[in-house]
Homo-oligomer: A and B are copies of this chain.
Amino acid sequence: MSRFLSKNYEKLVPYVPGEQVNVKVIKLNTNESPFPPSPKVLEVLNSEVINKLNLYSDPELKELRSAIAEQFGVTPDMVFCGNGSDDVLAFAIMGFCGRGGSLACPEISYGFYPVYADIFGVDLEQIPLNDDFSVNVDDYIGKGKNIVIANPNAPTGLAFGVSEVEKIVASNPDNVVIIDEAYMAFCGMSCSELVKKYDNLLVVRTFSKSHSLAGLRVGFGIGSKELIADLNKLKFSFNPYNINTLSIKAASAAIADNEYYDDRISRIVATRERITAQLRELGFNCTDSKSNFIFASSDRINASELAAKLRERGILVRYFNKPKIDNYLRITVGADEDMDTLIKSINEILEEKK
Stretch among A97-105, A135-143, A337-345 lining the B interface? A97-105
Give this chain's copy count: 2
- In the complex, are the beta carbons of B83 and A226 less than 8 A apart? no
Q: State the CA gap A215–B242 with chains docked (Å).
A: 10
Range of interface residues on chain A? 35 or more
Smallest Cβ-Cβ distance to A235: which chain B residue: B14
Asked if A170 is at the interface of the complex by the 8 Å CB criterion, the answer is: no
Contact B212 A87, beta carbon cutoff 8 Å: no
A310 at the interface (CB under 8 A from B): no
Interface string of A1-13 (1 = CB under 8 A from B): 1111111110011
Q: Which of A42-50, A71-79, A294-302, A312-320 contacts B (4 or more CB under 8 A)?
A: A42-50
- Partner of A57 from B18, B119, B215 at Cβ < 8 Å: B215
Instruction: Provide a sorted-by-A list of 13 A–B residue pairs whose CB atoms are within 8 angstroms.
Output: A2-B227, A5-B96, A9-B95, A9-B233, A12-B233, A36-B52, A36-B53, A37-B50, A54-B212, A56-B208, A116-B238, A216-B244, A216-B246
Contact partner of A95 (CB less than 8 A), chosen from B6, B58, B60, B98, is: B6
25-76 of chain A: CB within 8 A of chain B:
27, 30, 32-37, 41-42, 45, 47, 50-60
Residues of A with Cβ closer than 8 Å to B? Answer: 1-9, 12-18, 20, 27, 30, 32-37, 41-42, 45, 47, 50-60, 83-84, 86-87, 90, 94-99, 101, 115-116, 118-119, 121, 174-176, 199-200, 208, 212-217, 224, 226-227, 229-230, 232-247, 250
Residues of chain B with a CB closer than 8 A to A33's CB: 54
List B contacts of A176 (CB < 8 A).
4
Contact B54 A215 (CB under 8 A): yes
The CA of A237 and the CA of B18, in the complex, are separated in Å by 14
The complex places the Cα of A5 from the Cα of B235 at a distance, in Å, of 13
How many whole Å from A330's CB to the nearest CB in chain B? 15
B237 touches A6 (CB 8 A): no
Top 7 closest pairs, chain A to chain B, by CB: A6-B98, A14-B236, A2-B226, A215-B245, A54-B212, A36-B51, A53-B215
Q: Determine if B237 and A12 form an interchain contact, defined as CB atoms under 8 angstroms apart.
A: yes
Cα of A25 to Cα of B295 in the assembled complex, Å = 55
Does A6 contact B56, Cβ atoms closer than 8 Å?
no
Does the CB pair B215–A56 fall under 8 Å?
yes
Whether A6 contacts B97 by the Cβ 8 Å rule is yes
Q: Is B241's CB under 8 angstroms from A244's CB?
A: no
- What residues of chain B lie closer than 8 Å to A242, measured between beta carbons? 83-84, 217
